[in-house]
C-alpha cells in the first residue's frame, strides 16, 4: 500500500500531458477585430509611463528643451523618415537619445500621439505647422487630414497664401486644389490683399491660366490694373508684359474705348496706349481679328420652352465634358422667348407664359449670372414680345419684331447696357 501511494504522488508531479486526437475536425481561423487597437492602447500607456521605451527624442525650440520617450518601432511603422533613421545603420539607429531642432514641441507631440492612437486634432492656428511637420516626417495620413481641413476652409482672402505654402513644401494635391479655387473664384480673389501682394511673375502665372472662371476678359484686365495701382510707382513698368497676358481681342470695344479715355496708367505709359489704340481701331473698322480663345468653360444654354405648359427650367450643355448641367430656374415660365449673351451674362427676352390658368405675353428682360447661378430682372421692354428676334451689336441688345396676342410687331427696341434702358429706336 505504501508503494502504491508513492507511485500516485509521482504521477501528480509529472509534466507529461496526453493530447487527445482531433483528426478530421478541420482548422480554426479566429481573428480579434480590435486586437491592433488594443495593442496600441497598451503601447501608448507604456509610452506615457516611460516603460520599455528605447529612444528619447529631445526637442530644442526657441531656446527651450523638451523630452519625449518613445518606441522606435511605433514611429518607424507610420513614418518612412523614422524607419530609415532607425533601420539603416545611421548613428540614430543605436542611439538612446536623438535631438531634433526647428519643430515646435507641441506639433511633434501631436505626431507622436497620432503614431500611437491614429487620431490627431488640428485647428486654424496650428494646421499649417502640423502639415509642414507631417510632410517633413513623411506621415501621409496626417498630411492628408491637414489638406482636407484646409481645402474645406479655403477663402478668397487666404487661398493664395495656402496655395503658395503648399507648393513650397511639395504638397502637390493641396496646391492643385488651391489653384482650382483661385481659378473658380478669380474675381473675388483679386479683391483681396494677398492678390495685391503678388510679385509680377506670380501675377503673370495666374492670368495665363486657361481655366479662369470669368464672365468676361474685362475682369482679367481690371485685376491687372488693380494690382498695378497698389504700387503704381514700382509696378507701372510691368504694364506692357501684363497686357500681353490679357486676351485683348476678347475685350469689348466699348470697354477699350473707356480705358483709352479714362485709365490713368495709360496716360503715363504711351507705348501701351498706342498698343491698345491699334487694337481698338481694328475692332471699330471690323477688320478680321486674330482667333482668341475664350477662358473657362463654354456652355450651350437651353431656357424655357413648352411641354403642355410653358417651362421655367434652365439647363446648359458643357461640350468639354459632354454633360448637361441643371441651372437655376427662370423667374417665370416662358416659351417663345429670345436669348443672347453679353460679357458672359445670359439674357432672356420676352416670350409667353402659357398655362392652364394664364396665357400672357411678356415684356420682361431677365439676366442670368453663371458665376453665382442667379437670375435678376432688368428694365422691361416697352411692349410685350413673344417669339421675338434678338441680336447683339457692340454690347447692345436689340429686340426685333415678335407678337403680343394677335398683333405682330414691326418695331425694334434696344437695351443699352451702360444706361440700363430699353428705348425704341425706329418703327417701320
Tens of pLDDT, residue by residue, the chain (428 residues): 445 554 554 545 556 788 777 676 677 788 888 888 899 999 999 999 999 999 999 999 988 899 999 999 999 999 999 999 999 888 888 889 999 998 999 999 999 999 999 999 988 889 999 999 999 999 999 999 999 999 999 999 999 999 999 999 999 999 999 999 999 999 999 999 999 999 999 999 999 988 898 888 999 999 999 999 999 889 988 999 999 999 998 888 888 988 998 888 887 788 888 999 999 988 888 778 788 777 767 889 999 999 999 999 999 998 878 899 999 999 999 999 999 998 889 999 999 999 888 889 999 999 999 888 999 999 999 999 999 999 998 778 999 999 999 999 999 999 987 644 445 443 32
Query: What are the Cα distances from residue 305, in Å, to 77, 315, 325, 374, 426?
Result: 62, 11, 17, 19, 29
Q: Give the separation between CA 127 and CA 268, rounded to whole angstroms.
A: 45
Phi/psi of residue 77, nearest 5 degrees: -70, -25
CA distance 295 to 277: 23
CA 342 to the chain's CA centroid: 26
Whole-number Å distance between alpha carbons of 214 and 205: 16
Q: In whole angstroms, how far apart are CA 285 and each of 127, 249, 278, 379, 392?
A: 57, 13, 11, 31, 17
CA 245, 247, 253: angle at the middle one, nearest 5? 135
How confident is the model at residue 17, as a pLDDT? 83
C-alpha cell of residue 3: 508503494
Global model pTM greater than 0.85 = no
User: Taking a C-beta distance cutoff of 8 angstroms, is the pair 279, 250 a contact?
Assistant: no
CB–CB of 425/414 below 8 Å?
A: yes
H or E stretch including 75?
helix 72-78
Residues 226, 242 contacting (CB under 8 angstroms): no
What is the set of domains in the chain, with CATH numbers?
Answer: 40-121 (3.30.710.10), 198-284 (1.25.40.420), 300-427 (2.120.10.80)
Dist. CA 411–CA 399, nearest whole Å: 9
Name the DSSP class of 335: B
**3-state secondary structure (DSSP) of residue 100:** strand
In whole angstroms, give the CA distance from residue 52 to residue 239: 66
**Nearest residue to 175 via CA among 142, 151, 205:** 151
User: What pLDDT shows up at residue 317?
Assistant: 93
3-state SS class at 310: strand
CA angle 331, 336, 341 (to 5 degrees): 65
Helix (H, G, I), strand (E, B) or coil at 418: coil
Backbone torsions φ then ψ of 389, nearest 5 degrees: -90, 135
Instruction: State residue 14's pLDDT score.
Output: 56
What per-residue confidence (pLDDT) applies to 144?
Answer: 95
Amino acid at each position: 500500500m505504501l508503494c502504491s501511494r508513492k507511485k500516485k504522488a509521482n504521477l501528480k508531479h509529472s509534466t507529461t500531458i496526453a493530447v487527445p486526437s482531433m483528426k478530421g475536425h478541420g482548422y480554426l481561423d479566429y481573428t480579434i477585430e480590435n486586437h491592433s487597437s488594443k495593442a496600441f492602447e497598451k503601447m501608448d500607456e507604456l509610452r506615457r509611463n516611460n516603460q520599455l521605451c528605447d529612444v528619447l527624442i529631445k526637442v530644442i525650440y526657441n531656446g527651450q528643451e523638451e523630452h519625449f520617450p518613445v518606441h522606435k518601432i511605433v514611429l518607424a511603422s507610420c513614418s518612412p523618415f523614422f524607419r530609415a533613421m532607425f533601420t539603416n545603420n545611421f548613428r540614430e539607429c543605436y542611439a538612446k537619445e536623438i535631438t531634433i531642432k526647428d519643430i515646435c514641441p507641441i506639433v511633434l507631440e501631436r505626431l507622436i500621439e497620432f503614431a500611437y492612437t491614429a487620431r490627431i486634432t488640428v485647428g486654424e492656428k496650428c494646421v499649417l505647422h502640423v502639415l509642414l511637420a507631417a510632410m517633413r516626417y513623411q506621415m501621409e495620413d496626417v498630411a492628408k487630414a491637414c489638406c482636407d481641413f484646409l481645402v474645406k476652409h479655403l477663402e478668397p482672402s487666404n487661398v493664395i497664401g495656402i496655395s503658395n505654402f503648399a507648393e513650397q513644401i511639395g504638397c502637390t494635391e493641396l496646391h492643385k486644389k488651391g489653384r482650382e479655387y483661385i481659378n473658380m473664384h478669380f474675381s473675388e480673389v483679386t479683391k483681396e490683399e494677398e492678390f495685391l501682394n503678388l510679385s509680377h511673375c506670380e501675377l503673370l502665372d495666374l492670368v495665363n491660366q486657361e481655366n479662369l472662371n470669368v464672365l468676361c476678359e474685362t475682369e482679367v484686365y481690371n485685376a491687372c490694373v488693380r494690382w498695378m495701382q497698389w504700387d503704381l510707382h514700382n509696378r507701372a513698368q510691368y504694364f506692357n508684359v501684363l497686357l500681353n497676358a490679357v486676351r485683348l481681342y476678347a475685350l469689348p470695344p466699348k470697354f477699350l474705348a473707356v480705358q483709352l479715355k479714362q485709365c490713368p496708367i495709360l496716360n503715363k505709359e504711351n507705348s501701351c496706349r498706342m498698343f491698345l489704340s491699334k487694337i481698338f481701331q481694328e475692332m471699330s473698322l471690323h477688320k478680321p481679328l486674330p482667333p482668341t480663345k475664350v477662358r473657362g468653360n463654354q456652355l450651350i444654354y437651353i431656357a424655357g420652352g413648352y411641354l403642355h405648359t410653358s417651362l421655367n427650367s434652365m439647363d446648359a450643355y458643357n461640350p468639354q465634358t459632354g454633360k448637361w448641367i441643371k441651372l437655376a430656374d427662370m423667374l417665370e415660365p416662358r416659351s417663345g422667348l429670345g436669348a443672347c449673351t453679353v460679357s458672359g451674362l445670359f439674357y432672356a427676352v420676352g416670350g409667353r407664359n402659357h398655362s392652364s390658368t394664364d396665357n400672357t405675353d411678356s415684356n420682361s428682360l431677365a439676366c442670368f449670372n453663371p458665376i453665382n447661378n442667379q437670375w435678376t430682372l432688368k428694365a422691361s421692354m416697352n411692349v410685350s414680345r413673344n417669339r421675338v428676334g434678338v441680336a447683339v451689336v457692340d454690347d447692345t441688345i436689340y429686340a426685333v419684331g415678335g407678337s403680343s396676342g394677335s398683333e405682330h410687331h414691326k418695331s425694334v427696341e434696344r437695351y443699352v447696357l451702360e444706361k440700363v434702358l430699353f428705348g425704341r429706336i425706329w418703327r417701320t
